[in-house]
């Protein structure tokens, strides 16, 4: 009786652990991604966006390849459909998000970028419903709504005194970056075969490098580049922390949870962006922004309760 009981409860124990671990891994990945708002401002002051993107993946790819070699992990064999989907995913997240975010933050600043980033949970949930066909329960809908309210409250006061056309162009560029990020973080759910987090991360970095080589080469000859210590350090940080660490955490978490729960974890991105911007650039955090952080934490707890009820 005892061995039979332990063997029957083992899968459910693993499933329950994955249900809790998945969203938290995704949330930690989004904390790292939120820091890209700060480093994008530092990079954009000195290095052209496509060149910075190429350098980011050139620094990250060897780390992924060494990890695959150390783990003796083979390259996955994918068909044409999955290959095309992976190419779109790399174009959206590995290139589009980085380039658009750098350009956008330069025009509207970290505060406005945080406002637009607050739309990511809602955009990702819509992608889940419209593209992945997932139908979240009422707790998850309430959690998504609560997280969206929270992240919008985080950046309730737009920056004042900036030129309106330039500011709104920056907002539009960051919004486009958020659209790219939504596709990037959820497209792997449409793959016909599972790919390990490490292999998928390596493919995304390799794809991003290949896709931006031509525009980066053009930018090298046509755009001025200032190799400041801050800009180079920001590129290396972007490569080794949000790219290597963020990719691995996100795909490990995404493999353990649904697209809807993963989309909820994106609420941590603007919270991270706001707090790091405040620390780095000295921007004050107001009471309404602390309230937004509380809403996000409440949303994560509500989602965790839903995973227990499922």
pTM score over 0.85? no
pLDDT at 58 (0 to 100): 96
Residues 6+ apart with CB under 8 A from 99: 49, 50, 53, 212
CA separation for the pair 23, 310 (Å, rounded)? 14
- Give the pLDDT confidence of 204-243 residue by residue, as tens digits: 999 999 999 999 999 888 877 778 899 999 999 999 999 9
CA separation for the pair 189, 307 (Å, rounded)? 19
pLDDT at 10 (0 to 100): 45
pLDDT at 306 (0 to 100): 59
pLDDT at 90 (0 to 100): 94
State the DSSP code for 71: T
pLDDT at 7 (0 to 100): 47
- Enumerate the domain spans of the chain: 27-309
Point out the residues of the chain with pLDDT beneath 50.
1-10, 159-162
Determine how many CB atoms are found less than 10 A away from the CB of residue 279.
Answer: 11
Indicate the helix (H) or strand (E) that contains 211.
Answer: helix 197-222
- Give the pLDDT confidence of 259-274 residue by residue, as tens digits: 777 777 877 888 888 7
pLDDT at 5 (0 to 100): 44
């Amino acid at each position: 009786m005892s061995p039979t009981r332990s063997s029957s409860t083992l899968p459910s124990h693993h499933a329950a652990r994955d249900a809790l671990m998945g969203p938290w891994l995704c949330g930690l990945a989004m904390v790292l991604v939120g820091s890209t708002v700060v480093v994008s401002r530092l990079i954009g002051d000195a290095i052209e966006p496509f060149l910075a993107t190429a350098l980011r993946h050139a620094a990250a790819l060897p780390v992924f390849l060494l990890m695959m070699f150390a783990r003796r992990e083979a390259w996955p064999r994918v068909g044409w459909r999955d290959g095309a989907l992976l190419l779109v995913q790399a174009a959206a997240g590995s290139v589009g998000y980085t380039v658009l975010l750098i350009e956008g933050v330069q025009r509207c600043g970290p505060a406005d970028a945080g406002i637009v980033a607050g739309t990511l949970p809602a955009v990702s949930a819509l992608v889940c419903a419209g593209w992945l066909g997932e139908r979240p329960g009422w707790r998850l809908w309430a959690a998504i709504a609560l997280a969206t309210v929270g992240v919008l409250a985080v950046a309730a006061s737009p920056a004042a005194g900036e030129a309106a056309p330039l500011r709104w162009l920056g907002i539009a560029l960051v919004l486009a970056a958020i659209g790219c990020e939504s596709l990037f973080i959820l497209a792997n759910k449409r793959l016909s075969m599972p790919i390990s987090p490490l292999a998928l991360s390596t493919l995304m970095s390799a794809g991003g490098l290949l896709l931006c080589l031509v525009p980066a080469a053009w930018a090298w000859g046509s755009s001025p580049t200032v190799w400041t210590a801050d800009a180079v350090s920001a590129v290396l940080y972007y490569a080794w922390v949000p790219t290597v660490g963020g990719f691995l955490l996100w795909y490990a978490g995404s493999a353990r949870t649904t697209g809807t729960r993963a989309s909820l974890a994106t609420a941590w991105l603007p919270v991270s962006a706001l707090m790091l911007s405040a620390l780095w650039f000295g921007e004050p955090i107001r009471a309404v922004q602390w309230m937004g952080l509380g809403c996000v934490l409440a949303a994560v707890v509500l989602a965790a309760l839903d995973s227990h009820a499922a």
